[in-house]
Each structure stands twice: as C-alpha cells, then as structure tokens.
Amino acid sequence: MTSLRALECLVAVADSGSITQAALLLHSSQPAVSHQIASLERETRTVLLRREPRGVKLTPAGRAAVADARRAIEAAASAVRSARAAGQAAGGVLRLACAQSLTVALLAPVIRQWHRRHPEVVITLRESTAVDEILGFLDSDEVDLVLMSTPPPGRFTITAVAEEEIVLAAPTGHPLTEQPTVRIEDLEGAPLVHFAPDNGLSVWLDQSLARAGVHPETVMRTSVTAAAPQLAAAGLGIAVCPVSAVSDGFPGAVRSFSPRWVRQLVAVTSTEPDPLVARFIGNLRTHGVRLPRGVRSRLADDNSASAKTRPAS
C-alpha cells in the first residue's frame, strides 16, 4: 500500500528536480528517497522519474501522480489538524441530540454562544420527545451528546448540568391559582392537559403523580410540550409542565408548587466526554436554564398575587 512518505518524496523531487535536493528538503538521505521512489514505481508498475545528466524529470505517469500526491499529503495534514483541534476542544464536529422541551431554554443559548466564540466547530442538532429514540442516537453513534431530563440506564456516562422548575399552568382565575400555595396533592381529580405517550414527559409525569398518590383526570393529550400550558390557559383544564414550556406573554396563570418542584437535567454520553464535548457540557452547566424576562416576571407576579389573596381566618 502506498505510503505517505513515498508520496512526499515524489512531490519533493518534482519541486526540486533533483533527488539530492529532495533529500535535503525532507531531511533525509539520498538512498532513502531513491528507495521510496523505487517502491512507488513497483506499486504503480510504471516509471515515474527519468534520470538525466542534470537531475531528474517526471515521466507523464509521474506528472499524473504528483497532483494526487499533493492532495493526499494535504488531506493527511488536514486530518492531523482536525484531530488536534478536536483534542484541544478548538475545532471539529459536535453532534447533539436534545429532548424537545430543552432546546430553547437550555441548549439554544449555548449553541448561539459557540457559533460566536468557536466558529470553527460545526454543531449539528437532532430533537425528539421519545426517550428510547434519543438514547438510540447514542447507541448507534449518530450523536456525541444527549440532553434530557430522565437519567438513563447505567450503560451511559451522566453529568448533571442544570435544574428546571416544574410549574402549574392554568386559566386565569382558576381556583388552584388563587390558593395561598399549590401542592401536588391539590391536583387530585383536577382536569389535566396531559402529554401524549410519544412525549417522554408523559411517563415522567405519570410516575411523579403516582409516587404522590395523586390521580388527576386527563381531558386531553398533546405531543408538543409547549402546547400543554397553552391548552390549559384556553380553559381545558390545568397543565403540569417544565417552566421552559411557558412562553413569553403566556395568556393564563402560572404558579410554583410548594414545596418547589424541580427536575434534573443531564448530559449523557456513551463514554467519558472527550475535550470538545466536555467543554460544551461545562458551558451548559455555567449557563443553566434561563427564562425570558417576561416569563420570570409572570411567575413571580402570579405567585405574589396568589399570596395576597390568602383568605382571612
């Protein structure tokens, strides 16, 4: 099989017109260069150099080989640069997958930051609401990093990156939002806008409610995480959702639970993260979940307003 060194020797001879000069360019000996050229000629089964009194000249076959030899040498050098850049977290390709509900509040701001600070890193993104599908991306080596809320089985490496609050979304004036506090137990029998089975939040919410011994009445299901609070605000019932699913300008009421209800967000990799992935995970942990100012204000205002409506004893 053709060695890169043989191609380097051919290019050096073509550039210098002399085996002696080629040896100097390559910091090698003249016999070593001649040996590499002879090896290449045996492999190509043709003569590549014609020796003349004042040096050597390429044969037509040699000239044809030199162009591809230059490209091969540059490709090898580029491969080394790319690998070095990725190893130093300064370049390469970063393949991400994300639970749909986490894209806007957690992932998008960090990707935007990387596009500005690390333009040499190519970032790709796949989204899903199904836990099995998103973990399948890792198993099939289609992605380097998955962001999700449910810690997967132990075959993966898991790094906690943030916490996200779980809130109650309801129509304005709903009785639950006018109580001094909202507890998970208050959801017993309440009409619930639930998540469809293809959304991983469906199983997570069922398990959370079951642990609390609470049984709301499901009145509608949606696959789209951000649609649940909107349907609740429209008067169909209540929704229990990540606060990131509440949009700026939300038309209903949004309340925190007491005690505060949060879910852990994790970065999942198939092995220990390489330097590029580790740097991205570090930025996720630094950034955390940040909500639009309007959503933060709305949550604070609704909690405050409810506290002021505490009935007199």
Q: pLDDT grade, residue 93 (50/70/90)?
A: confident
Q: Is the pTM of this model over 0.95?
A: no
> 9 and 22 in contact (C-beta within 8 Å)?
yes
Which of 46-60, 259-273, 284-298 shows the highest mean pLDDT?
A: 259-273
Q: How many CB atoms lie within 10 A of CB 131?
A: 19
Q: Tell which wins on pLDDT, 179 or 110.
A: 110
Is 255 exposed, middle or buried, given 0-12, 13-18 or 19+ CB atoms closer than 10 A?
buried
Q: What Cα–Cα distance (Å) separates residue 162 from each residue in 105, 265, 266, 288?
A: 11, 5, 7, 5
pLDDT, position 191: 97
- pLDDT (mean) for 4-33: 86
Report the pLDDT value the prediction gives residue 5, as an integer from 0 to 100: 87
Res. 44: pLDDT tops 90: no
Between vectors from CA 260 to CA 254 and to CA 265, what angle results, nearest 5°?
95
Q: Confidence band (pLDDT; 50, 70, 90) for 244?
A: confident
pLDDT of 266 above 60: yes
Averaged pLDDT for residues 262-282: 91
Per-residue confidence (pLDDT) for residue 301, from 0 to 100? 67
Query: 10 Å Cβ neighbour count for 258?
Result: 14
Task: Taking residues 240-253, report their average pLDDT.
Answer: 90
pLDDT band at 147 (very low <50, low <70, confident <90, very high): very high
Q: Is the pLDDT of residue 311 over 60?
A: no
Determine the Cα–Cα distance for residues 115 and 58; give it in Å rounded to an integer: 47
CB 222 within 8 A of CB 230: no
Question: In which element (H, E) is residue 200 found?
Answer: helix 200-211
Q: What is the mean pLDDT of residues 27-37?
A: 88
